Every structure is written in C-alpha cells, then in structure tokens.
Amino acid sequence: MSLSESHDVQHAIDVVVRNTDVPVQILLEHPHKRWTPEARVYLQGLIDKVAGVKPDAEPNQEVAVPQSEPQFTVVESVRSAAEPAPVEQFEDPLPKFPQALKDRLNWVLWKYASVNGKVTKVPYKLDFKNAAASTRPDEWSDYKSVAEKIMRDGGITEKQGVGRVVQKEERVVGIDLDGCRDSQTGAIAQWAEDIVEAVNSYCEITPSQTGIRIWVIGDLPAGDKVFNLDPATGFYGTKVKIEIFTDARYFTVTGQSIYDAPLSERDLTEAYELIHAIRRKHPAPKKAGRVRNQQVRHLHARRNRGA
C-alpha cells in the first residue's frame, strides 16, 4: 500500500495484531498511516477501553495509555471483533449408523400418520409437513439436515424419526426381520439369528423394538421379496415376516445397532436361499378364504380334465 492511500479498519486490526508490544496510541499517530475516519474511531475506541474511559468522554481529550495495562487485552478485543463467532458443532444422534450410508442425499423424515384409515409410517420432506416419496429424489435431503430437524422436533422415538431411501444403482440392500424380537427381554428368534449370521453386516433394532433391520451391500438374486412366516415363530402378534428391498423404498433408521458388525459387501446368494428355507420350514398358515378358493380351483381343474 502506498503512502497516498488511506488505511481502513481492517488494516488497523491487522496492524494491532502484528504489533502487540506497541501502544495503540502510537499506532494511531504513526506518521506513515493515513487512517480513514472509521479506522481512527476504531483505534481510539481501543485506547479508551484500555484506559477505562467512558464512551461519552470528549472526543479530543488526550488519553494516556497506562504502561501497566497489558497489551494482550487490546489484542484479544481486536481478535474477538475480527474473527467470526464459532459455529455450533453438529452432534450426531446416530453415531453408530454407517457413515457410508449417511454420505448420500437419500434421507427423509418420518412419523406415524393415518393413510386411508390405516396408521402407518409416512416419509416426509425436510419441512416435516409435506409427505415425501421414495421415488422422487428431489424430495430427499442430506443426513445432517434431517438429523438436526428431528432433534429440534422432539428427537428420534418409536413414533417419529429419520429414514433412508435405497436405490438400485448403489447396491444397498435392506432386510427387515419383522416380529423376531421380544421387546421386553431382547430375545431374538433363532431363524432371525441365522439370517443375521449369514449376512454378517450392520444391523439394528427397528422403532417398534420387535424387529431387526440388516443393511448390506450386494446383489440380490431375482425372486420373492416378501416372505410371510408362521406367527408362532415370532414375538409380535401376526406380523412375522421377512422383507427385502433394493430400490424405491425407504427404511426407518434408529442407530440401535446389535452384534457390532460393520456395513459390508456380501454375496447374498446363500443368505437368500436360507430365507427361502426358513419360509418352507415356518410357512404362514393359509387363510380360510384362500383355502376355499384353492379347493374350488382344484375342483374346476378336475372337471376340465374329465375327472
């Protein structure tokens, strides 16, 4: 900067910080500094602060800088004024959930709501007012935003929380083991433990506390995605089943991990065959109406064959 140029407030801040052992009065009166009016007011304010002069003192009053006054007081004041306020640190409510699954913009909020007379977990946009769809990425958000929003609105509970959408191209597979856990004792059905062991990837307890969800990277063989089981093999009413989804589906997230397995990439062929075997061993009982329809179809088939 040339001598003909004026020195502004920012320059005054820089000079004070660099010259901690020089009284501010000397800096203000430096022959080679052409301070702007704003800079002079700023420096004079620092001098007054050190000297203990009240703000309504005469503007031209000569102020002596006490030599006993430590100069770092002034410097700290300058730094405090120059530096931005510290940003509040983000506290992750789900520290155990895999970071790799947090990094994509696949996050939504959810809460229970009535849809067509049935209470279900409805996904929501970041405003927590308008429903989101697992098929419309423009309605999803980043993890940090949804986490901060849910914590401001009551936190993650069994009635509301955050959820993650899975997409086929990312090869993330979500496996729901519904009704496999006793919410009171924590006991888990043997068939569910067999699946967890076979997949060997990150898993957590679902919001109802009666199920387990496994997250894994891999390619799911073609075939069934829903496997209804005999309610007697579980702990939660009549809803005992296995669901597997890889695309256009959102899953609730609790972060209540169990078994301590990390998110992993697996060959899911054997695990998928195991799930089929479990359904064969514990088939859901057929409803009376379904049995009657099958009997009627069988009778018609016999008549068509001339039996």
pLDDT in tens, 249-296: 999 999 999 988 999 999 999 999 999 999 999 999 987 555 444 543
Domain count, the chain: 2
Same domain, 37 and 127: no
pLDDT value of residue 76: 57
Same domain, 201 and 270: yes
Same domain, 77 and 225: no
Q: What is the per-residue pLDDT across 158-170, written as a single tens digit (0 to 9) for each?
A: 999 999 999 999 9
Same domain, 160 and 266: yes
| Tokens of residue 220, six digits | 């799911």
pLDDT value of residue 246: 95
Same domain, 72 and 162: no
pLDDT value of residue 161: 98
Same domain, 68 and 215: no
Same domain, 211 and 252: yes
pLDDT < 50 regions, the chain: 1-4, 57-72, 291-293, 295-296, 298-301, 303-307
Buried b (16+ CB within 10 A) or exposed e, 27-63: bbeeeebebeeebeebbbebbbebeeeeeeeeeeeeb
Same domain, 239 and 206: yes
Same domain, 255 and 160: yes
241-245 vs 226-228, strand pairing mode: antiparallel
Pairwise CA distance, residues 16 & 27, whole Å: 8
What sign does the dihedral 275-278-279-284 (CA atoms) show?
A: negative
Structural domain containing residue 59: 9-82
Give kind and range of the element (H or E) at residue 182.
none
Pairwise CA distance, residues 13 & 7, whole Å: 10
The answer to the question of residue 239 being in a domain is yes
The answer to the question of residue 87 being in a domain is no
pLDDT value of residue 73: 53
Percentage of residues in the chain having pLDDT higher than 90: 61
As a whole number of Å, the end-to-end CA separation of the chain is 107
Same domain, 106 and 61: no
The answer to the question of residue 38 being in a domain is yes
